[in-house]
Structure 1
Amino acid sequence: MNQKVVLITGCSSGIGLALAARIAGDEKKRFM
């Protein structure tokens, strides 16, 4: 299985915040 890594910067508002909230909701894919 290929793992993909995503780095979200600027997640205090807008699209970055929405992406961070969505990824944080999936416990299998979250890393902080």
Structure 2
Amino acid sequence: MELVRQVGWFAILRSVALEGSRWHTNHYANNL
């Protein structure tokens, strides 16, 4: 059960990181 929770947290953090990097890229591109 602990492993499932860790994998779930990893998936959440990974999706947040991807979303953040995508927003950052779009924000940077719009300012060029």
**What band does the TM-score fall into relative to the shorter chain?**
0.3 to 0.5
Q: Which one has more relative contact order, counting CA pairs under 8 Å at least 6 apart?
A: 1
Give the structure with the larger helix fraction: 2
Give 1 or 2 for the bigger CA radius of gyration.
2
TM-score by length of 1: 0.39
TM-score by length of 2: 0.39
